[in-house]
Amino acid sequence: MKNFEDRLREYQLKATPQRIAITKLLDEKGHLNIDTLYNLLKEDFTSLSLATIYKNINIMMEKSFVKEVKLPNRKSVYELQKEHHSHLVCKKCNKIEDIYIQNIECFYDEVNQKTDFAIESSDITVIGLCKQCR
Binding site for a copy of itself (CB under 8 A): 68, 70-72, 88, 90-91, 97, 99, 101-104, 106-107, 109-111, 114-131, 134
Q: Which does 5 bind (CB under 5 to 8 A by kind): DNA, a copy of itself, none?
A: DNA
* Dist CA 101 CA 117 (whole Å): 21
Q: Which does 1 bind (CB under 5 to 8 A by kind): a copy of itself, DNA, none?
A: none
* Strands in 5-65 per DSSP E: none
Which residues are paired to 97 by β-bridges? 88
**What are the DSSP calls for 87-107, one per residue?**
EEEETTT--EEEE--STTHHH
Residue 67 beta carbon to a copy of itself: minimum distance, rounded to whole angstroms: 9
* Dist CA 76 CA 60 (whole Å): 15
- Angle, helices 50-62 vs 17-29, to 10°: value is 70
Q: How far is CA 98 from the centre of its chain?
A: 10
Measured from the CB atom, is 44 or 110 closer to a copy of itself?
Answer: 110
Span interacting with DNA, options 42-50, 87-95, 102-110, 122-130, rule CB under 7 A = 42-50
Q: Which does 16 bind (CB under 5 to 8 A by kind): DNA, a copy of itself, none?
A: DNA
Measured from the CB atom, is 45 or 108 closer to a copy of itself?
Answer: 108
* Dist CA 22 CA 3 (whole Å): 13
- Which residues are at the interface with DNA (CB under 7 A)? 5, 9, 13-19, 34-35, 45, 47-52, 54-56, 58-59, 75-76
